[in-house]
Structure formats: structure tokens, C-alpha cells
Structure 1
Amino acid sequence: METVTITTLESLELVEPIEKPLHKKTRRDFKTSTPTPDGYQSLWSSLDEIIIEEEKAPAEEAPPSPSVYVECSTMVAAANKSGHSTTPHSKAAKKRPANTVSAKTTKRRLILSVAGPSSSHAPSEEEISVLVNFGSDDEMSDDDGGEDMAQQTVFVPRATRIFMPDENETPEVLPLADVNDSVDRPPSAEIGPINKFDFRWTGFSSSNVPEVRREPFSDINCGPTLKLASPYKAFTAIWDRKIMEHIVVETNRYAQQVVADMLYDGSLAPRSRITSWRDTDADELYVFFAIILASGIMVKSRIETYWSVDQGILSSPGFAAAMSYSRFQLLSKCLHFSDNNNCNPDEMTRNEARLFKIQPIIAHLNNKFSGLYKLSQNIALDESLTQWKGWLDIKQYIPNKAATVGIKTYEICESKTGYLWRFEVHAEHELPPHDSPLSGTVPALVLKLLKGLEHKGHTVWMDNFYNSPALARELKVRGFDCVGTLRLNRQFVPNELANLTKRDLTVGELRGCTSGDVDLVVWRDKNLVALISTYHGMAAVKCGTVVKPSVVADYNVCMGGVDRKDQMLAMYPIERQRSRIWYKKFFKRLLNASVLNAFILLRSQQTVTHRKFRDSLVKDLIAAHKPPSPSAAPTTALHIPAQYGFLPGSQHDRTRRLCVVCKKRTNAYCKACNVALCVFTCFEPHHTRK
């Protein structure tokens, strides 16, 4: 039995891609009013004629494939004598068969038969019973299996059934060790793995049906878990009163600590801005968040320009009307999320100590993001980067990201919408004990991010930083499908693929193998491209005029969930303002991502654009939480004597009027009463009488 299948794209059958892109590629046709003269047809019309001629030409039938279905010894023997397979022939280009159960098929196999495709020996019933079919299950006919299928209520993943005992096992069946001694098996026949990480790599068979091998998934309840009516409701569903009150308490506490430290070291000046601090509340923080979000919509180079009094074309009077510049700077300085008195590095791990300042926000958002939305089938796992160029021991360098250097997060996003479902901040992985192939930091991280999604049929799309055969099988056991690129130096990759170089393959050539539930494919394009999948097999897809392996086409469609999220956030860069505190800048990034999630929650229920959502959110936050401007309190005028002005043309004589008390002429009067009064004799009696 061959270990690795060697083929080319031209020899593979063309199938329809499983995953469909959000927007189909369209071609713009310019139709002229005048007919085109003969001999001057456009390039597109020439191509269309060529395509039509090719479609009219009869398609050549594919060569007969070896037998992959074993129904009975008589049919197998007849097929071996005739030299043809019992399976029907297929044309070069056909659609994948529907996910239906055949009435005549009794066993579906993902590996070749015992004696091989070219052997004339028909396998006996004992030889067939001892073979382990990776990822397969019993498909019963409509006559004898209808009642059993109707009573089945618990769906067990296919990969899990590999290690489960057969419920219909009879006492006559011998244990695996006795069968090895009693049954006369051909030399090529092998017993299936008794260990989860015992990979038996074989070549691909022609019976691969991805729709059957893929884990079942129901998208009935996908989407938001709450009904939301407005951008404000969607935002406050994430940033509720509980977390806002927590930030209020910690911000007020930190402000008092700042004042105490400044008094202790003598740096508190009488005119310091912190001397005007007053405790904040949740309503003021909502307005503070609204101003931060507005700065991402209206981008300016410096923060103080938002409060400029210039009445020019670039003026923004709404910022000053919502909050003063001095108060905004005070809140930015004192914004805090954890009590510094609870920070004890001796009792914390390195990760906990590094993320102590921002940990309450991370925990809250992870809880809210995963609770407010149910993911669809395809989810992407990738890393994102928040730019930070200052000194920080946890910052990472990723050259293919837009930020290049900064704070790295591992994120689970929905492939279709980019919804951020869960994230973990990179703060130096904790090293678990090395006692199994999954004891590394990367597999532990993947399983931690996917916690809570087990046995639901999700397909996880990852790049070669995460993928490995051991992780793919573990995910398959837990009810996931796994697809992505692969590094050929991973553990359990067969040597026939691990030792391949670019010179060993020609352009368009493929090599691959399968262990039943895990498929490995190496494709030579401009460079070697290695991929791993749990259901794709080896098939080709025509993307426009280019033919690609089906796993490559689906990977290009579904892998961009995290990148789609970063692209939508880049249009509103609220975290671009300079800051000396890394966790405050990272908080703005999380605030920005939460607004995007709120937009996705609302968009699935009503039609709204991203820009309109943010505009409405800023206005609603200010309208709902900005305190009304205090009315002008009546001022109590002070009764102070004053003198009238000089007469016109004179510098010594003042205006004189009759005193309201003694009726004598005087040049003095009361400012509050605005009546003439003698200063020494009548001023006090006039204000003390009733």
C-alpha cells in the first residue's frame, strides 16, 4: 500500500468549493451602441468564444479508479476479475455528491482494502471486522436501520468513536491481541491505532466525500443572543453599569493616591491641575468614552486641537460642549482599573503580574463577547497587534502586521463577520510539563481559546504557527474540524513529506497522505505550500482561470476573520493618540474592538453602516449621560457706595443728584440700589430700615 499519493492538479477531479466568499468577483462589461466591425472583436469576446467552444467539446472520461467500497466478497471478486471498480465512473469536472446515506452501501472506508486495489484475493469477513476505519461510521439501510437512527439522541464525534468499544460487539469476536495471532492477514494489512497519536499514513482513496467527513453543524441559533434596538443598547450591553461602577471606584481611588504621592514628595503646586479633582461617576465616564470614540471619527494630530476656540473650518465645538479640556485630561490621567494595593508580585505568576493593571477589563470583555454572540461554523484563530513602540517586556515583533511591533493578542474571530469572540494577551507563555504531544504552549493556548465550543461542529482555520497533526486529531476528538497551513517539521509528519524541497516537485504537482481523520497535502505553486485538513482530502477547484487544491481555495476564503476585524478598526484609530502608559493605550484598543462587536450585533438585526453606527452611538451617549447645564443662580448684589462720573468737559465737578433720604444734593450713590445717597449720614439708615 502506498504511503503518499503523487498527482497533479490536471489529474484531479474538479469540484465545487465548499466555502463561498462574501462578494463574488464580477467583470464589468462596456456595451457600445454601435456594432463592432468584423475582425475587431474585443479580447473578452474572443475569450468568451473560446470558452463556449471548450464547453461544447465532449469531456474525456477519467480512468477507472480502484475499488474503495467493500459490499460483499462476490462483488469484490467480480470487480477484480473484470479489472474495474464497482464504483461508478465520474467525469473530470463534477459537483460533490450530496450528504445522503446510500441504501446499498454497508461500510464507508477512508483507507484502502486489505489486499490492495490490484490483488485478486477477496477479504474475508473476519479480516474486514478487525480493520479500524478512521473517522467512519456504520451507514444502515432504510429497511433495517430506520428505528435505530430515530432513537439516536446523542451525537458522538467520529474521531471519538475510534477509541470507543463497539456496542454491537458479539462474544465470539476475539480481543485485538488474539485476532492478530489467529487471522491470516496479508502482509500489507495493518491494525488501526490503539493510541490517539499513533498515525498510520496511507495514500488517498477516491471515495473522499468532505461533506460526510466534516463534523455536523446547525446554524439555527447563530448570531446575537439579545434583541437590540439601537447603537446605545448594543454598546451598553457590553459596557454595563457594573463594569462602569468598577472603573469609577478604581479611578477615584487612584486619584487620591496620586494626590497623596505628590504631597509626600513635595511636587504638588498650588496651580496643579490635580488640585481641582472631584470624584467622577458612571455618567461622566460614559461621556468620556463618547469623546474618545468621537476622536476616532474626527481624526486630528493633537488632542488639544479638539478644544480649539478657533471658529474656522476645522473647528469642533462639540467637544468643549460635552466636557472641558482640563477635565478630560484629568480623567485620562487618573483612569484606572485595578487597586494597586492588591498587587503582590510574590504571590502571582509572571503573566498575572504583567497584566494586573488591565486584567479586570480583559476578563469582563471575554465574558461579554462570548455570551452575547453564537458563532457560525467557520472561525479563524490568528494573532493581532496593538502598536506600542515604547519599552515593554511583553511587546512582540511581527513584520507582516501593519503595526509591526506592539502588544500581541491571540484572537478567535468569526470568519464571515470578524466578530471578536475571545482573546488572550501574550505575556510570556507558561511552560506546562512535557508529558504528551499536546503539552506545548501553543496547543494549550488553542484549547484554552476554544473552551466552550466543544462538540458543536465548528471548523477552526489556523496558520502554520498553530497547526500540527497531533493538535488536529485532538480537535477532531473534541468535535472540531481543523484546516490551515502546516510546517513540515512538525511531529508526526511522515518523512516522505517532511524531507520535500522545492526542487522535488514540479509546478502544479501535489503529494499527500491521510491517516483517516487527518489529511496532509503539499502543493508546488511558486513555492511549496503545505496544508492540513480533517475533511478536504485531495481535490481541485477552478478559481476563475486558475486551478487550485480545494483546501487552498477554502482557506483563502475563511482565514481572514481576524484581519477583517483589524481592517474595520483601522478606519477609526482611537488608540493612535500618544500615551506613556501601555495599558491605557491597550484599553482604547479594546474599547474600539467592543464598539465593532456592538456594531456586528446590531447589524445582524437591522441595516446600518459602520460610520452611521458610531455617529449615533456618540450622540446617544452624550444625550443620555451628560448632566444638564446648571441654570444661572441669581447673584446677590453687594451694596457698595460709589461716585457718579465727571461732568462733560470737567475734570473736577461730578454729577450731583438729590439724596433719597435727606433730599440734599450729593455725588454718591449705591451700586445695588442705584439711588443717590449721602455716604456718611444716609447710606446706613437707608439699608437698615424696613
Structure 2
Amino acid sequence: MANRLPNSNCHENVADSQSDMSSNGSQSFCRQSYYRRSLCRHRFADNHFADSHHYFEDQNLNESAGEHLNEGIKISTTETSHPLDYFEASIDETIANSIVAETNRYQSQNPVGERLNMARWSDTSLSEMYSFLATMMLTGILPKNRIRDYWSTDRLSSTPIFMQIFTRNRFQDLLRFLYFSNNDLVDADRLVKIKPIIMALKSKFSSSVNPGQNLCIDESLMLWKGRLAFKQYIPSKRNRFGMKFFEIVDCQTRLVLDFIIYTGSTTDIGIIPAVGISGSVVMNLMKPYLYKGHNLFVDNWYTSPNLFDLLHRSKTGACGTVRSNRRGLPSLASKMQFRGIHAVNYSWCIAQQFW
């Protein structure tokens, strides 16, 4: 191809933009101006590639022993460690006590009715809440048609473990009043009812793992067919209906590091015009992991020349499939009419391959 490659002024613009950011009072305006000025218009050629590698700051490596520590998990484990130790890496006593407090508060805010027979209610405790959460996890492993079926005494379908942990009435009472936020605090956020637990989990996820070099960002759909203002329908997903999450995962441990719940137009991702909505999701989730030499893997909804350029400037490698009509990519339709054709185009740090 005869297209000219970007010149060296592209790199100079980055340094100029960074100095502008420190002197300008409007952080949001500076950030958008920085991205607009620093990203070049990509011109692809078939014979030029500025290969470069980013050194990975491996926080899991024990330099004296040359070994990885606990595969990135930041908890001390021994042969006598209990499964509860791993559970508390995500939900510790602070989070559980918060759920206990809000559940008891919510029950006290609702009148005791004869129909609900709530005269039997007694405030829940930390140990009981742990048992309740464990029981809820067990119901996901052993699905049944109705909650009451877990306490069935039918010889063909009985599961005695549930009766040993809770009576059916107590479990249903806890399920009825399970709560995560204070109704006295007014907030227009669509996630207000679960915001405290979401923020606590996000903090625990990111702080309990030292990620490896390779990271992945993708969408996930949590099954939900009930009433929900931001419920999504995605036919290609297994569940089809539910809450959509954008998640960043450590490829080494396969643990979620952070996530964003999609709530429609109110989703707080901080739009970056230069890379669009999908690129803004990536930059939001990757914020703590930039300039550390990570490699990011994404699918074709995220991949774009501008995003990969921006990640490269942030000392982060990126790889992903791409849509043929993505803005900024050259058209290779004429070269790809026959099987077995392999074509590669380059633009500074970006290599585009077709086969």
C-alpha cells in the first residue's frame, strides 16, 4: 500500500498533552483533549512495523526463589486452610456485618403483619448470615423448582443438609428481609439498593488478587427474568435475559478483578470520545493496570486502532478480533476473495492480519 505512515510528531503531541493536563484546571476537559491530540490518524502499510515490548512488573514473583506466590491470590494458605478463608477474601466480616445491619433495619421498618406471621422474627447475626449465604450458594449448585422444595421430605428428592442448617420458615424470613442499603438515604442511582455491596465487592476483588501479565475483558449476562429497568435481552448468550456486566479477568487465576453493571444511558464509564463507548469501558476497567506491561485480550466489540494505540502508549499490549467495518481500518476485501490468502497491514504499533 502507498499510504504514508504517521510521523514522529505523533509522539511529541503526547508529551505536550501531558504537560497541558497538569496546568489546566478542568480534569475532564484535559483528559478528552489529551486523547484527541495524542491519537494519530492511522495510515496502514504492508511493509513497516515498529515492534516494541513492554516490561511486565510481575508482583506475584518471589525474586529470591524465582517462583510465583499463590498464583496471584493475596491470602496466606496452608494445608490446614479452610474454604471459609477463600470465601472471606471476597466477603469478609465487614461486608457480612453490613448486610446483617441493613437486614435487621429493613425488617424493623416494615410493620409486623399477621399474614406474614412475623411475630416469630428475631434479629439475625453474623454467624447466621454466613450460614444463609452458604445456603444460597448451595441452592445454585442444587437447582429445584421452588424454595420450599429444599425442605421436602420426599424420599426421591429430599436434601437433608438444608434442614440441618435452617428451618424452612427461618430461611424464608431471612430471604424476605435480606437488604443491602439504607432506605433513609435518597439516591437517584438505579443501583442504589445494592450499591454498598457492589462497591465493597469491587474493592475486595481488586485487592485480593495480584494479576498475571495477561488480562481479558468481556461481557457477562446474569440470568434475571423479573422486573428490571435495565434488563438486557441478548439472544446469543446462554441466559438471554438478565443484567449485563463488563468484566476484567485475570487469565492466570481466572478471577474477576473488577466489573461494571450496565444500566443503560446512566452507566458510569466516563466516555472518551476518541475511543467511543466500548473503548471507554476498556480504559475504565484497565485504569489500575496501565503502565505495568500487561497484555489485554478482547473481542471485536472493543477492538479498534485508536483504542490499541492508546493502550500501547500506556505500556499495555492488546490483541483481539476485529470487525471488518471498524473505523480506521484499511479495506482488504479485494485481497480476501480466495481461501488461503494471508494479508498483514501495519500502522506504527498496530498489526492487522487477515486469513
Contact 1:459 1:480 survives alignment (8 Å)? yes
Identity across matched positions, percent: 33
Which of 194, 201, 205 lines up with 2:44 in the alignment? 201
- Cα deviation for residue 199 of structure 1 reads 2.0
- Cα deviation for residue 372 of structure 1 reads 0.8
- Cα deviation for residue 358 of structure 1 reads 1.1
Rounded Cα–Cα distance in structure 2 between residues aligned with 1:434 and 1:286: 39
Using a 3 Å threshold, how does the CA distance of structure 1 residues 161 and 220 change in structure 2: closer, same or farther? farther
The DSSP-based 3-state class of the residue aligned with 2:242 is strand
TM-score w.r.t. length of structure 1: 0.43
- Cα deviation for residue 466 of structure 1 reads 1.1
Deviations 1:445-499 (A, max 9, x none): 21111111011111111111111111111111111111111123333223x34xx
The DSSP-based 3-state class of the residue aligned with 1:423 is strand
- Cα deviation for residue 133 of structure 1 reads 11
Return the letter of the residue paired with 2:329: V
Using a 3 Å threshold, how does the CA distance of structure 1 residues 331 and 472 change in structure 2: closer, same or farther? same
Indicate the residue corresponding to 2:263 in structure 1: 427
Indicate the residue corresponding to 2:145 in structure 1: 301
- Cα deviation for residue 398 of structure 1 reads 1.7
RMSD: 2.9
Which of 336, 349, 352 lines up with 2:179 in the alignment? 336
Indicate the residue corresponding to 2:64 in structure 1: none
Rounded Cα–Cα distance in structure 2 between residues aligned with 1:485 and 1:479: 20
What does 1:115-514 correspond to in 2, within 5 Å? 132=8, 163-164=14-15, 195-205=38-48, 213-219=52-58, 221=60, 223-228=72-77, 229-259=81-111, 268-269=113-114, 272-310=116-154, 312=155, 314-345=157-188, 352=189, 354-430=190-266, 436-438=273-275, 440-494=276-330, 496-497=331-332, 500=333, 505-514=337-346
5+ residue gaps, structure 1, are: 5-110, 112-130, 135-159, 166-193, 263-267, 346-351, 524-690
- Cα deviation for residue 390 of structure 1 reads 2.5
Contact 1:238 1:369 survives alignment (8 Å)? yes
Using a 3 Å threshold, how does the CA distance of structure 1 residues 436 and 427 change in structure 2: closer, same or farther? closer
Rounded Cα–Cα distance in structure 1 between residues aligned with 2:95 and 2:14: 45
Using a 3 Å threshold, how does the CA distance of structure 1 residues 364 and 473 change in structure 2: closer, same or farther? same
Using a 3 Å threshold, how does the CA distance of structure 1 residues 430 and 514 change in structure 2: closer, same or farther? farther
- Cα deviation for residue 321 of structure 1 reads 2.1
The DSSP-based 3-state class of the residue aligned with 1:451 is helix
Return the letter of the residue paired with 1:490: R
Return the letter of the residue paired with 1:336: Y
Rounded Cα–Cα distance in structure 2 between residues aligned with 1:365 and 1:480: 26
- Cα deviation for residue 293 of structure 1 reads 2.2
Using a 3 Å threshold, how does the CA distance of structure 1 residues 412 and 514 change in structure 2: closer, same or farther? same
The DSSP-based 3-state class of the residue aligned with 1:508 is coil
Using a 3 Å threshold, how does the CA distance of structure 1 residues 386 and 316 change in structure 2: closer, same or farther? same
Contact 2:13 2:38 survives alignment (8 Å)? no
What does 1:511-550 correspond to in 2, within 5 Å? 511-523=343-355
The DSSP-based 3-state class of the residue aligned with 1:413 is strand
What does 1:600-679 correspond to in 2, within 5 Å? none
Return the letter of the residue paired with 2:136: I
Contact 1:430 1:441 survives alignment (8 Å)? no
Rounded Cα–Cα distance in structure 2 between residues aligned with 1:403 and 1:435: 31
Using a 3 Å threshold, how does the CA distance of structure 1 residues 377 and 162 change in structure 2: closer, same or farther? farther
What does 1:2-41 correspond to in 2, within 5 Å? 2-3=2-3
Contact 1:458 1:480 survives alignment (8 Å)? yes
Rounded Cα–Cα distance in structure 1 between residues aligned with 2:202 and 2:273: 29
The DSSP-based 3-state class of the residue aligned with 1:213 is coil
Deviations 1:548-604 (A, max 9, x none): xxxxxxxxxxxxxxxxxxxxxxxxxxxxxxxxxxxxxxxxxxxxxxxxxxxxxxxxx
The DSSP-based 3-state class of the residue aligned with 1:444 is helix
The DSSP-based 3-state class of the residue aligned with 2:118 is helix
Using a 3 Å threshold, how does the CA distance of structure 1 residues 392 and 517 change in structure 2: closer, same or farther? same
The DSSP-based 3-state class of the residue aligned with 1:521 is strand
Contact 2:223 2:239 survives alignment (8 Å)? yes
- Cα deviation for residue 426 of structure 1 reads 0.4
What does 1:573-584 correspond to in 2, within 5 Å? none
Contact 1:248 1:282 survives alignment (8 Å)? yes
Rounded Cα–Cα distance in structure 2 between residues aligned with 1:433 and 1:343: 23
Deviations 1:119-156 (A, max 9, x none): xxxxxxxxxxxx7499xxxxxxxxxxxxxxxxxxxxxx
- Cα deviation for residue 292 of structure 1 reads 1.6
**Larger Rg, first or second structure (1 or 2):** 1
Deviations 1:413-434 (A, max 9, x none): 1224421111110001449998
Using a 3 Å threshold, how does the CA distance of structure 1 residues 430 and 471 change in structure 2: closer, same or farther? farther
- Cα deviation for residue 441 of structure 1 reads 2.4
The DSSP-based 3-state class of the residue aligned with 1:486 is coil
Return the letter of the residue paired with 1:214: H
The DSSP-based 3-state class of the residue aligned with 2:289 is coil
5+ residue gaps, structure 2, are: 17-36, 61-70
Using a 3 Å threshold, how does the CA distance of structure 1 residues 317 and 197 change in structure 2: closer, same or farther? same
Rounded Cα–Cα distance in structure 2 between residues aligned with 1:377 and 1:435: 25
Rounded Cα–Cα distance in structure 2 between residues aligned with 1:361 and 1:435: 28
Using a 3 Å threshold, how does the CA distance of structure 1 residues 258 and 223 change in structure 2: closer, same or farther? same
Rounded Cα–Cα distance in structure 2 between residues aligned with 1:292 and 1:213: 49
Using a 3 Å threshold, how does the CA distance of structure 1 residues 437 and 367 change in structure 2: closer, same or farther? same
Deviations 1:4-45 (A, max 9, x none): 9xxxxxxxxxxxxxxxxxxxxxxxxxxxxxxxxxxxxxxxxx
The DSSP-based 3-state class of the residue aligned with 1:363 is helix
Contact 2:270 2:284 survives alignment (8 Å)? no
Contact 1:467 1:484 survives alignment (8 Å)? yes
Contact 2:271 2:277 survives alignment (8 Å)? no
Contact 2:271 2:280 survives alignment (8 Å)? no
